[in-house]
Chain A
Amino acid sequence: MTMNRITWILLVLTLIATSAASYRADPDTFPLYYFVFGVLGCLLMLFITKGVAKKLLSRKEDYYDRV
């Protein structure tokens, strides 16, 4: 799977269109709130799981097979 320029443009257009719809429906909320939430949430999740849990909890695949 490759992400070419057209795909990225489509994604940005989707983002703009949905944000505009959000603004029209409710101008008081920040239209990109959940996009930012997704970005930060994903970073947080990767950081916590990969950074912390993986160092503490990750083992070789045959961990339980060895007695």
Chain B
Amino acid sequence: MTGFDVPPVAFFLLGAALLPWLPAVGRAGVCVLFPLLALVHVSLLTEGAELAVPFLQYELVLLKVDGMARMFGIAFTLVAVVAGIYAWHMRELKQQLAAMLYAGGALGVVFAGDFFTLLVFWELMAVASALLVWAGGTDRAGAAGLRYLLVHLLGGSLLLAGIVMEVYTSGDLSVRAFAEEFSPGSLLILLGVLVNAGMPGLHAWLPDSYPKSTVTGSIFLNAFTTKTAVYVLAVCFPGWEVLFVCGLIMALYAVSYAVLANDIRLILAYHIISQVGYMVAAIGIGGELGLNSAAAHAYNNILYKTLMFMGAGAVLFAVSETRLTHLGGLFRKMPWVVVLYLVGAAAISGLPLFNGFVSKSMVMDAVYGRDLGYSLLALASVGTFLSVGIKLPYYTWFYRETPRELDAVGKPPVNMIVAMGILALICVAYGLWPAWQYAQLPYGVDFTAYRTDLVVKAIHIPLGTFVVFWFFRHKILGEAKIVLDTDWFYRKPASNIGGLILDGVNRFFGACESGLDRLIVQRIVPPFRNPIKALGFKSGQGDHYDPDMDRTSLGSAVGLTLLVMVVALVLSL
């Protein structure tokens, strides 16, 4: 016990509360310092530490430390620190606030001991991250942010419904492993979490929104949402067979889209899903090796994936362009970015000496024995190396002379390079000394990454892939196009459904309006313009009353008065 059992989210909430009162430089400092304090705090937390607060008849557990939570907590705070450095030049308060709250929400989820606390931070993440998408500032980002928020509110509602059912039947609010049976409660929770994990079918929010955020926004986005979902799956659904299948689908489906994608941040976005697929498959295998490998892969993925997004961000920052068909030859303008990106690419491709090799080998070891699944994951790793290992760097930084419209190439600021350097160093360090990673894992490890068969495999698959790529390198780039994904199902009909609902209502009110218009303005109003004519007096002539023309004779006035008097007399009799 450190005697200081504060939930790590507190650091981020405090930092966020300070931000609006500080000058620009101070804000950038807070965005590095507070995550750094949180990182130190998380690494000092001892397993078993707990902080519970009574709330109504329940007990809310704001802090519950175990090996799994600590591992994710360290990765999240570490990446928040580095992302803070990467965003040092960015002075927009809205983005800084959203990023702090978003990172805080992720830590809140990871250290939550009960489902109510978890849900609150889950929703905090959804809102804060939507702000980061909107920060993109374009019309497309605005629309994508709205879709993003709607999908996440749906996911959050599924989660809430599942939690309510689960608590109602079991009376137990604590975050715990569910027995592998499909009760309505556990199924809804699973669906809600799979939305955030990016399960194909529920995933389209991710490639739709992440590439439209800002340079720094997508750095934060890539790290937290999907990986908190992995954490919750690992804690609540370990060994659920269905997750193994889900993981395989994720890994292959997303990598195929990555091979097709033209936008570099879109390629990386699809790769988030693909890599999360490895973790989900390992969780589906379960057991200590399965969970260990899922945790290790999540941890490493947060590091190298952020590094790669930073490289893509540097390109966007420098040339305001992210489409491969419009890029090329930028190596000389940003050599450090390329080298550091390639470290990330080597790591995600599982090349020996990099951290991805260690955790990917662990995952493959956990899956070993399931022949089809094993081969499918190996096939996914072919796609990984093909798309982010060669295709992305080759067409971005090499391939041809820099297109003329990119002549005015800016330089990425030093803080970006420093942030990338830190992550690259960590990636290499964990690759060279995997024992550091084993020591962090939630369960005891009996695994050696540098086994001959694993090393040979990790070198041979990329070699084979490279040969084919090089042979077809002039055909792979293709044209500047987009590839439809499942968001088509709600984006395309949206205008039709909108038409159905809005147009129908509009037309109804339109019809009413014109009908009433005809009735009142054209039938009822005109007679009153000249009542004399409407009443049938001979003197009534024009459409409008004219005292000189239309005034009736005195006789008719007298007659009318007499008539009224007679009627009054008759009635009073």
Contact = CB atoms under 8 A, between A and B. Distances in A.
B465 A42 contact: yes
Interface in B437-481: 452-453, 455-457, 459-470, 472, 476, 478, 480-481
Candidate in A35, A38, A53 with the most chain B CB atoms within 10 angstroms: A38
Given A41-B378, A57-B483, A67-B495, A46 B460 contact: no
Contacts of A57: 483-485
Given A18-B456, A18-B459, A1 B394 contact: yes
Given A42-B382, A59-B482, A48 B256 contact: yes
B326 to A, nearest CB: 11
Interface of B: 140, 255-256, 259-260, 331, 378-379, 382-383, 386, 394, 397-399, 452-453, 455-457, 459-470, 472, 476, 478, 480-485, 491-492, 495
A53 B378 CA distance: 21
A54 B471 CA distance: 20
Nearest to A38: B464
Contacts of A46: 259, 386, 468, 472, 476
Given A41-B378, A48-B256, A54-B483, A18 B468 contact: no
Contacts of A15: 460, 463
Nearest to A56: B484
A63 B456 contact: no
A25 B452 contact: yes
Contacts of B453: 22, 25-26, 29
B464 A35 contact: yes
B260 A18 contact: no
Prevailing SS type, chain B contact patch: helix
A45 B481 contact: no
Contact of A14 (B379, B397, B459, B472): B459
The 9 closest A-B CB pairs, nearest first, are: A38-B464, A1-B398, A41-B382, A34-B460, A25-B452, A42-B468, A39-B464, A35-B460, A38-B461
Contacts of B485: 57
A61 B260 contact: no
15 contacts: A1-B331, A15-B463, A21-B456, A35-B460, A39-B465, A39-B468, A41-B461, A45-B382, A46-B468, A48-B256, A53-B260, A53-B483, A57-B484, A59-B482, A64-B492
Nearest to B382: A41
Interface string A19-56: 10110111001011111111111111110111001100
A3 interface: yes
Query: In the complex, which of the residues A19, A46, A48 has the most CB atoms of chain B within 10 Å of its own CB atom?
Result: A46
Nearest to B462: A38
B6 to A, nearest CB: 45
Contacts of B483: 53-54, 57-59
Label chain A's interface by main secondary structure. Answer: helix
B460 A18 contact: yes
A44 B379 CA distance: 9
A66 B259 CA distance: 26
B386 A45 contact: yes
Given A45-B383, A58-B481, A39 B378 contact: no
A54 B468 contact: no
Nearest to A21: B452
Given A32-B460, A45-B379, A50-B478, 11 more contacts: A1-B397, A11-B466, A22-B453, A34-B464, A37-B464, A39-B465, A41-B465, A42-B464, A46-B472, A61-B482, A65-B140
B482 A22 contact: no
A11 to B, nearest CB: 6
A34 B118 CA distance: 43
